[in-house]
Structure 1
Amino acid sequence: MSEITDYELYEVPPRWLFLKVTTSDGTVGWGEPVVEGRARTVRAAVEELMEGYLLGEDPARIEHHWQRLYRGGFYRGGPILMSAIAGIDQALWDIKGKRFDAPVYELLGGAARDRLRVYQWIGGDRPADVGEAAREKVEDGFTALKMNGTAELRRIDSPAAVDAARDRLEAVREAVGDEVDIGVDFHGRVSKPMAKRLVTALEPYEPMFVEEPVLPEHNDALPEIAQHTTIPIATGERMYSRWDFKSVFEQGVVDLIQPDLSHAGGITEVKKIASMAEAYDVAVAPHCPLGPIALASCIQVDAFSPNALIQEQSLDIHYNETSDVLDYLADPDVFDYEDGYVDIPDGPGLGIEIDEEYVKRQSEEPVDWHNPVWTHDDGSVAEW
């Protein structure tokens, strides 16, 4: 029996944290445990879990380890703990796949599809010039796009603010036509009254979904918002376990959930969330504006989940100014997007090979990414 003998953590640009786990037989697994802007905090949590629970243990007992990491502490859940567990879980699945010389999805039931649709981000935090950006990405072969719907909004804002959001979506729709899907991310920036007005205003342009129309702590408002639109409602990137999703499924108004494989407990937990969603006729589109290990983990879950709809990926996203997804891979062709799809990888484990020397060099660069703190005109804090 092999055992977990060592681990290393690498904070790398633009805002990612990579975990390397090594076993006594020399097998290496990679994970991506991070909360964007809180990498150092998650790093401390990973160190605590690895030192306290996993060194010297058999890496094969993934479910058992997940239960110990989650239930072994009296206080549970939340972004820091669940992200630390997520990255460790990804690394353990990577090790298991390599041990059996099989992709993770083969160990979980096999692929339910041959390829996976992906979408491409356009625009920035304060979206501008989205029409031309949309046209360029469609020319590159993407058939689905996502954009921020608004910049910061007041709790009750002006008609001009609603018009600006509508005009941006109209510009994209006119640029790409009716055969391209457009997701609109409210990013939790929108209050309940403004969400009701915005979904009504955006309805004529038929977005693929509206994402996080309100903050997850206000999910009780989703049924009221849903009464104002036929646009599919998506949420879940700031929900961290199946218990967080439980009430959303019971509401019956969310059409698409977006758990994050680096925040919601990793492959072990998200496969359970996806199965719960299937029982409620809800599709899955994992959140992933992150690095290559997180994306590879998402694709493993998408591959065997019959209700997986589409996958977010962060190539060329506005956060990736210094390093991008493919830079850390020995073979970047594994994420070769063609006609808006990516093939399901057939390599063992997570299906990627990390360029470890590049990771080490990049980890020597200073990384201090934090999301901006926006304010309204009166100086009060706005949602970013």
Structure 2
Amino acid sequence: MRITHIDTFPLLYRNPKPYGDANGPKAYRSTYLVRLVTVSGITGWGECSGWLPALECAFREQIIPYLLGQDARLRSKIVQTIGSWHTRPASAVSMALTDIAARRTGQSICGLWGGPLREQVPVYASFQTYTEDDTWENVSLRRIEEALAQGFTHMKVKVGGKPLADDMRHIHSLQSRFGGHIALALDANQSYDAAAACAWQPLIGQWDNWMWFEEPLPMHQWEQYLYCRQKLGLPISGGENVAEARIFMNAVQQQAFDIIQPDPVHVGDLDEYRGILQLARFAGVRVSPHTYDGALARCYALYAQACLKPWSKMEQDSIEPVEWDVMDNPFNALVPLQAEQGMVRIPSGIGIGLEVDEELLRHYRWDGSRYW
């Protein structure tokens, strides 16, 4: 089970028309895949996100030399060592080693984790709301209409990137047009203080189809999060960039969130990621994974959600939805997993159960040129 070969795939796609959130426009999409191969030919795939030059340097100079010759069965030791150097690359290695473990035993990822509790998992359509011109509101409404036609009934849009009055006008238009057909989440990307976040309360009170208000405040302002929970009257969510279970535990203890949102590419260990899901169950909060940054990583989030016990005994199979990127992003096609009527059927094949599109890997491989 020695690791004898490692391939890395830094991928870049320049958006023809930039789109974005409260953090600004995205001129490109990028991701980073790794493939580990053992001496017996067993292959494992993983994915992480970040600045491609830094990821390339980390893998070439430190991670690959360390991985070559390691026993792939020693997953915890390997991931812990890499995680002490680089958190996000560790997530990709953790996924790949988990894939290898499943393939070695002839099981699916879900089988390795004790078997799925459900055959499909719900997803919600995730939008980047803003464009660089004055038509952004119309573009947003058109995208929502298209997603509704594709069968999505749960959606998330961005706020916080425009003046409060502009964002409120957009959400009022959206709700007036689609509110009777969809459930809606707002994501502010930590853009507000408590006063600005609570200014949404009158508009929020006009509809009852809200899913949650995501990260209205900067992280770690736990007392202010609790205040907004009490003031706004809708669930508050967050944690997409939190990398450790102990920080989620602190947020839960401070009653900051109704819903936590770990991301498997931001938590450096897939086993720890699954531990965070269990933490949510033990603490009585919901967990709706953030998976905007990678289609392969999203598979692991879906598999973990398929194995997670229901969050409520009021429904036989009440499981929270996983984020589904519906923007212009060719990397969504890296794995042949599709949402149908807002649901994703979980594959039952060996390992990840899907073939990575290597033609796309070649086509979008970053050539090392400047892209920022």
Same fold (TM > 0.5)? yes
Which residue matches 1:100? Answer: 105
Q: Does 1:42 align with 2:55?
A: yes
Tell me, in whole angstroms, the C-alpha distance in 1 between the residues paired with 2:370 and 2:305.
31
Tell me, in whole angstroms, the C-alpha distance in 1 between the residues paired with 2:290 and 2:219.
14
Find the residue that maps to 1:102 and give its secondary structure: coil
Find the residue that maps to 1:216 and give its secondary structure: coil
The answer (yes or no) to whether the contact 1:199–1:231 under 8 Å persists in 2 is no
1:114-133 aligned within 5 A: 114-125=119-130, 128-129=137-138, 130-133=140-143
Tell me, in whole angstroms, the C-alpha distance in 1 between the residues paired with 2:126 and 2:371.
20
Tell me, in whole angstroms, the C-alpha distance in 2 between the residues paired with 1:181 and 1:366.
42
State the one-letter code of the partner of 1:240.
Answer: A
Which residue matches 2:286? Answer: 283
Which residue matches 2:5? Answer: 6
Q: Does 1:70 align with 2:83?
A: yes
The answer (yes or no) to whether the contact 1:192–1:221 under 8 Å persists in 2 is yes
Which residue matches 1:178? Answer: 180
State the one-letter code of the partner of 2:355.
Answer: E
Greater share of strand residues, 1 or 2?
2
> Aligned Cα RMSD in Å?
2.2
The answer (yes or no) to whether the contact 2:242–2:267 under 8 Å persists in 1 is yes
Q: Of residues 228, 231, 247 in structure 2, which corresponds to 1:228?
A: 231
The answer (yes or no) to whether the contact 2:83–2:89 under 8 Å persists in 1 is no
State the one-letter code of the partner of 2:240.
Answer: E
Tell me, in whole angstroms, the C-alpha distance in 2 between the residues paired with 1:107 and 1:356.
25
Tell me, in whole angstroms, the C-alpha distance in 2 between the residues paired with 1:48 and 1:200.
54
Structure 1 vs Structure 2: percent identity of aligned residues?
A: 23
State the one-letter code of the partner of 1:3.
Answer: R
State the one-letter code of the partner of 1:177.
Answer: G
Give the direction of change, closer, same or farther, for the CA distance of 1:30–1:191 in structure 2 (3 Å limit): same
Give the direction of change, closer, same or farther, for the CA distance of 1:221–1:151 in structure 2 (3 Å limit): same
> For 1:180-204, what per-residue CA distance to the aligned partner results, in whole angstroms no more than 9, with x for missing partners?
2111110112223211222453342
Tell me, in whole angstroms, the C-alpha distance in 2 between the residues paired with 1:83 and 1:361.
24
The answer (yes or no) to whether the contact 1:113–1:304 under 8 Å persists in 2 is yes
The answer (yes or no) to whether the contact 1:296–1:352 under 8 Å persists in 2 is no
The answer (yes or no) to whether the contact 1:17–1:39 under 8 Å persists in 2 is yes
Q: For structure 2, which runs of at least 5 residues remain unmatched after alignment?
A: 14-29, 312-318
Give the direction of change, closer, same or farther, for the CA distance of 1:284–1:7 in structure 2 (3 Å limit): same
Give the direction of change, closer, same or farther, for the CA distance of 1:203–1:23 in structure 2 (3 Å limit): farther
Tell me, in whole angstroms, the C-alpha distance in 2 between the residues paired with 1:233 and 1:368.
38
Give the direction of change, closer, same or farther, for the CA distance of 1:287–1:52 in structure 2 (3 Å limit): same
Instruction: State the shift of 1:366 in Å.
Output: 5.8
Instruction: State the shift of 1:337 in Å.
Output: 1.5
Q: Which moved more, 1:46-55 or 1:255-264?
A: 46-55
TM-score with structure 2 setting the length: 0.85
Which residue matches 2:216? Answer: 213
Number of residues of Structure 1 aligned to a counterpart in Structure 2: 342
Q: For structure 1, which runs of at least 5 residues remain unmatched after alignment?
A: 74-80, 153-160, 371-384
Which residue matches 1:378? Answer: none
TM-score with structure 1 setting the length: 0.82
State the one-letter code of the partner of 2:33.
Answer: F
Instruction: State the shift of 1:324 in Å.
Output: 3.5
Q: Does 1:271 align with 2:274?
A: yes
Instruction: State the shift of 1:18 in Å.
Output: 1.0
Tell me, in whole angstroms, the C-alpha distance in 2 between the residues paired with 1:204 and 1:42.
46
Give the direction of change, closer, same or farther, for the CA distance of 1:348–1:195 in structure 2 (3 Å limit): same
